[in-house]
Amino acid sequence: MGIIDEEIEIRLSDGNEPEFIPIFSLEDEEKMEKEATPKSLPILPLRNTVLFPGVVIPITVGRDSSVQLIKDANKGDKIIGVVSQKDENVENPTFSDLNTTGTVAQIMKMLKMPDGNTTVILQGKKRLQLKELIQEEPYLRAEIVEFPDIKSTTSKNKIKALKASLKDSAEQIVKLSPQIPSEAAFAIKNIESLSFLVNFISSNMNSTVAEKQQLLEMVDLDARCEKVLEHLAKEMQHSGDEKRNPV
């Protein structure tokens, strides 16, 4: 587990890695779901990360167009769309270079770093689908629609069991991985919402952007839970192998 980002560097320029572990309750999730989804948004392309609803991440923005987008949005309602690129090697992505599923995000804070870079703290709100390009300059803006979401249809006991399995697996990985802050285990233990638990773990898993994008695009929550459990099982085995056979 660990977040790696865009033209995006998780570590701030002073070399210290900040902790962004939100306290996200069921009430917060319910409130977020009721928020109206804008008909169009400026779109920030992410080079090598995926933002999930509820999750907070720092992003250092490098492209001129991205910097302008963040500055403009920060002066307004602070709401943007973030979508990962299909190919992280594309320097100046066009609309067709982006995945069609992304996340509505709120700018929580914008920081001007000593090295001149701009770092922005974003929180995912809800999933979106890109519909149509509205503008290309000075940055991408697109018509969007809210992504459909199928909640868990299993019994309360099954949901409880899923949450327990997810938490147990994720906590074991935190213990096996010294690079992951211990605060992550505390956060995982205290997450009430199943969907946010899945999103939080998905965001921090040591998996590829394509794998995370696949999870973001999965409509059915139960299916996402099972997929995340599969990833965690593989990661746990890998972490255990590394511990037994250090280089």
Domain boundaries, the chain: 26-146, 156-244
One fold for 26-146 and 156-244: no
Q: At 239, is the pLDDT very low, low, confident or very high (cuts 50, 70, 90)?
A: low
Q: At 149, is the pLDDT very low, low, confident or very high (cuts 50, 70, 90)?
A: confident
DSSP-assigned states of every residue in 12-60: -TTS----------HHHHHHHHHSPPPSEEEEEEESS----BT-EEEEE
Cα–Cα nearest to 53, from 73, 70, 75, 31: 31
pLDDT surpassing 90 at residue 128: yes
Give yes or no for a contact between 1 and 206, defined as CB atoms under 8 angstroms apart. Answer: yes
The single-letter DSSP state of residue 95 is G
Q: Find the mean pLDDT for residues 233-247.
A: 64
Give yes or no for a contact between 173 and 138, defined as CB atoms under 8 angstroms apart. Answer: no
Q: At 69, is the pLDDT very low, low, confident or very high (cuts 50, 70, 90)?
A: very high
Q: At 241, is the pLDDT very low, low, confident or very high (cuts 50, 70, 90)?
A: low
Tell me which CATH code domain 156-244 carries: 1.20.58.1480
pLDDT surpassing 80 at residue 22: no
Query: How crowded is residue 165: how many other Cβ atoms within 10 Å of its Cβ?
Result: 16
How many percent of the chain have pLDDT more than 90?
47
Three-state secondary structure string covering 207-218: CCHHHHHHHHHC
CB proximity list for 36: less than 8 A, separation 6 or greater: none
Q: How far apart are the first and last CA of the chain?
A: 19
Q: At 10, is the pLDDT very low, low, confident or very high (cuts 50, 70, 90)?
A: very low
Is residue 149 packed enough to be buried (19+ CB in 10 Å), middle (13-18) or exposed (0-12)?
middle
Report whether the peptide linkage leading into residue 138 is cis, meaning its omega lies within 30 degrees of zero: yes
Tell me which CATH code domain 26-146 carries: 2.30.130.40
Dihedral angle computed from the Cα positions of residues 85, 86, 87 and 92, in that order, rounded to the nearest 10 degrees: -40
pLDDT tens for 71-121 read 999 999 999 999 999 999 999 999 999 999 999 999 999 998 888 788 999
Q: At 24, is the pLDDT very low, low, confident or very high (cuts 50, 70, 90)?
A: low
Q: At 14, is the pLDDT very low, low, confident or very high (cuts 50, 70, 90)?
A: very low
H or E element at residue 171 = helix 156-176
Who has greater pLDDT, 146 or 152?
Answer: 146
